[in-house]
Amino acid sequence: MSKHLAEPEWTLEIKPVSGWLNFHIKDVWRYRDLLLMFVRRDFVAVYKQTILGPFWFFLQPILTTITFTIVFGNIAKIPTDGIPPILFYMSGIVSWNYFADCLTRTSSTFVANANIFGKVYFPRLVSPLSNVISLLMKFGIQMVLLTGFIIYFKSNGSNVNPNLYILLTPYLIFLMGGLGLGFGIIVSSLTTKYRDLSFLVSFGVQLLMYATPVIYPLSALPDKYKWLVLANPMTAIVDTFRYAFLGAGSFNIENLIYSTIFMFVILSIGVVVFNRVEKTFMDTV
Amino acid sequence: MSQVIKVEGLSKLYRLGIVGRRTISEDVNRLWAKIRGKEDPYMKVGETNVRSVSGKSDYVWALKNINFEVKDGERFGIIGKNGAGKSTLLKILSRVASPTKGSVRLKGRVASLLEVGTGFHPELTGRDNIFLNGSILGMTQTEIKKKFDSIVDFSGVERYIDTPVKRYSSGMYVRLAFAVAAHLEPEILIVDEVLAVGDAEFQKKCLGKMHDVSEKEGRTVLFVSHNLQAIKNLCQKILILDNGEMFTLGQTEESLKIYNELVRGTKIDAHTEIGNITNRRGSGAIRFTSIEILDSSGSKRYKYDLGESVRFRVSYKVYKKMKGLRLIVALLSGLSRECLTLAYHKLTDVELIPGDSGEAEVEFTDLNIKPGEYPLYFELIDGGHNSNSKDVIDDLTAPLIIKGTGSYNGTSFYPDKPSGYFSTETVLNLNEIFKDEAVIRKAL
């Protein structure tokens, strides 16, 4: 036994991948500076790459809102709970976009970063986390746009009632980011093995939007389908968001708790799967 | 000295063929075996990784049962032919890939440089990239801030530090990237062939820095390279890998000797069919079938005296139609692999058809090259220099050795290093003063 005392104390052991719950979460914290640098890189890159830069962030929701107003409001005549259609659609689009962007961006983590991941070790989770954070910039800019429209409509006497539930916004953002990240890293983990999944992502996100009250209010939904839409964890979030900023729709604490639990479950599954795949993906990508 | 790296029974299984298209049925088979408590069926069929022989199985052992230890402050080299498993080993040590079996234990912080400038973003300024790259390599903001001035100083691009790196010349880019890496302070530094890029001066700088890091700061350096001369100058111990297995492990001099035997042992003749090796350059339109190195009397030799003549006899076989044929034989520098001298000969201008074969011999009649080891380079290419119809052999033959014997008088000062490459006739003329002094001395 005395021989063992002389053995050096190893700080790291590299072993074959085994088990699912072998985390290095502490590592993520140790690399928090890298997280900041990635976010900074994304900011600067967006700002510098195009002349119009952040202007695109305005353009996209405006054009989508116009399209939705014409197609769903004027042609299909879907009710908007008595709110000006432009505000109704824009609030839905802005909140939905943040979730959708988080999901799409993080879902390509492994494929997009294969080059860096193949050369240097750092906790891979840093990468999708930084995506979720840097997407806040786009969300923030679109919020400014939305706020501008709300003020304009309010001063023109429209039936818009922003209320104190606005204080819930950071929590809603947290839920959206968590859900987007959770789904995204699950998809990104699976795509390393089964490539075709990546084609499903943009398609799936689009379909999911129609199962979320983005272009219609919950109240306009036939009872037959209500359970389906309520099972979607994004429903309560978009609905609460709209209720807080426009005063229309509903606020239902139970639905929001459901979304919260859903978020934690999906995020946990995501982290476990991602953590497992990050060790073997170099062999499959 | 204590151990800082301990590798035990390390093995890595790779699946060949189209990756990323793992079929679900295969996964199910695996799971079924696991449920019954049996060994992974795909691990059993893994074969030793010999790239020149086409295997029966889709699975190969890129590494098989590797064991070694590295001690504190040691400079440890890893060499081997292409595909011997060097990079796989480094990837496992840097935690980029996972082993299939076995374990690696490390003591202290590890930084690996498998590439310089990983994660550099072209839109960001030099300053931003120092912070970004530093963080990727595992430094904290405070550390980088503290070393920032010295990094900029080392890189020598101070003037451009607030310019986006996309406007940098490639030289400046590499300098900046290496400056960041050079300021890492890990207990263990793992370096892949970063030296392959950059000019000779830069290579020297890198080697010098690695030497300093280990000698002055007592850090451990793990270095992988094809460049035997660089390894020889830097490392104290060498591990040689061959086809994923440990070939030998020992002190530098002895290991290198064994390695050269190994390379020389790879018989380059029709029997081993070097003409069929698949991962060579070119599309396989033409292949060398044998290469022999002969002295003036026609016997095979690798060691020559200064001034002797050497004959390179090659045979080839044509697999696809091509027009004209040229043969290039070159001697490379052992350190930087630059070409020292090159012979270019036209073999024919007529059209060659599949099945054609031939033999050619190039003689270097007077080797006026200083003693040292010189890797050889052979190339066959068609008359239009079309890179599709060519074949290159530059790592399958042992280096040519020029011995410093006889009347040669230039090596004794630096026995290990080549004192330049070319031997030039020089005449010494003593001037008056010395003559006078000699006269005075005699008088005294």
Specify whether the CB–CB gap between B176 and B124 falls below 8 A.
no
Using the Cβ of B387 and the Cβ atoms of chain A, whether some distance falls under 8 Å is answered with no
The larger pLDDT score, comparing residue B307 to residue A117, is at A117
Give the model's pLDDT for residue A185: 93
- Can you tell me whether residue B442 is helix, strand or coil? helix
Cα→Cα distances A32→A128, B140, B176, Å: 13, 9, 24
Give the model's pLDDT for residue B42: 61
Binding-face residues of B in 25-84 toward A, CB within 8 A:
none
The per-residue DSSP string of B404-437 comes to --TT--SSTTSSSS-S-SB---------HHHHHH
B170: CB partners within 8 A, 6+ apart: none
Give the model's pLDDT for residue B306: 78
Give the model's pLDDT for residue A8: 58
Give the model's pLDDT for residue B439: 55
Give the model's pLDDT for residue A21: 65
**What average pLDDT does this structure show over A121-131?**
92
Q: What ipTM, to 2 d.p.?
A: 0.83
Nearest to A14 among B19, B95, B118 (CB): B95
Please state the pTM of the whole predicted model: 0.72
Give the model's pLDDT for residue A177: 96
Whole-angstrom Cα distance, residue A30 to residue A121? 13
The two counts, helices (H) then strands (E), for chain A are 13, 1
Pairing of strands B188-191, B110-113: parallel
Give the model's pLDDT for residue A106: 93
What is the length of chain A?
285
Give the model's pLDDT for residue A102: 95
Contact between chains at A44 and B14 (C-beta distance less than 8 A): no
Contact between chains at B105 and A121 (C-beta distance less than 8 A): no
Could you tell me which chain B residue has the CA closest to the CA of A284? Answer: B20
Contact between chains at B100 and A16 (C-beta distance less than 8 A): yes
Cα→Cα distances B296→A23, A273, B299, Å: 66, 66, 8
Least confident stretch, A161-165, A218-222, B207-211? B207-211
**Residues in chain A closer than 8 A to B136 (CB atoms):** 34, 37, 116, 120, 122
The larger pLDDT score, comparing residue A209 to residue B22, is at A209
* Residue A175: both structure tokens together: 């839920």
**Average pLDDT score, chain A:** 87
Model confidence at A97: pLDDT above 90:
yes
The larger pLDDT score, comparing residue A162 to residue B439, is at A162
Kind and range of the H or E run holding B330: strand B322-332
Model confidence at A37: pLDDT above 60:
yes
Give the model's pLDDT for residue B198: 59
Model confidence at A89: pLDDT above 70:
yes
**Residues in chain A closer than 8 A to B140 (CB atoms):** 33
Give the model's pLDDT for residue B336: 63
Model confidence at A186: pLDDT above 60:
yes
Specify whether the CB–CB gap between B125 and B165 falls below 8 A.
yes
A173: CB partners within 8 A, 6+ apart: A98, A136, A139
Model confidence at A53: pLDDT above 80:
no
Chain A: closest CA distance from residue B31 (Å): 14
Chain B: closest CA distance from residue A13 (Å): 4
Chain B: closest CA distance from residue A117 (Å): 7
Whole-angstrom Cα distance, residue A36 to residue A32? 6
Give the model's pLDDT for residue B232: 82
Test mutation, A12, A115, A276, chain B, max B CBs within 10 A: A12
Whole-angstrom Cα distance, residue B141 to residue B304? 56
pLDDT tens for chain B, residues 1 to 444: 688 899 999 998 887 654 444 555 666 777 777 777 766 666 555 555 554 444 556 678 888 899 999 998 899 999 887 778 888 898 899 888 888 889 999 888 888 887 777 888 888 899 999 999 999 888 889 999 999 999 998 888 889 999 988 898 877 888 888 888 888 888 888 888 765 555 666 677 777 888 888 888 888 999 888 777 778 888 889 998 888 888 888 888 888 877 777 765 554 443 444 544 544 666 678 888 888 888 888 888 878 887 788 898 888 888 888 888 999 998 887 666 678 888 899 888 888 888 888 899 999 887 778 777 788 888 888 888 877 777 887 766 677 878 765 444 444 344 445 567 777 777 777 665 555 555 555 555
* Residue A174: both structure tokens together: 């947290």
Contact between chains at A280 and B98 (C-beta distance less than 8 A): yes
Give the model's pLDDT for residue A280: 78
